[in-house]
Amino acid sequence: MKKYQNILIAAVLVWILTREQARAETNTPGTPRGIRNNNPGNIRISNNQWRGKIPVSQNTDGSFE
């Protein structure tokens, strides 16, 4: 049983590390603007509260959310 627990823990750690690495790579200058802003649909700034919307204080883009 302990062997399977160790394998499961290792798998979860690998998943967490690769997920964090993928997230960090989306905020680089060469990445498309919509991906950097967590807005792949290039939604214009509005009052609509859509899933994944960042606060206005964190928005570095003048046109898109």
Domain boundaries, given as residue ranges, for the chain: 2-56
Residue 22 confidence (pLDDT): 55
Length of the chain: 65
pLDDT single digits (tens) 15-63: 777 766 555 566 677 778 777 777 777 777 778 777 777 777 877 777 7
Mean pLDDT of 1-24: 75
Nearest Cα to 48, choosing from 27, 24, 65? 65
Cβ-contact 15, 40 below 8 angstroms = no
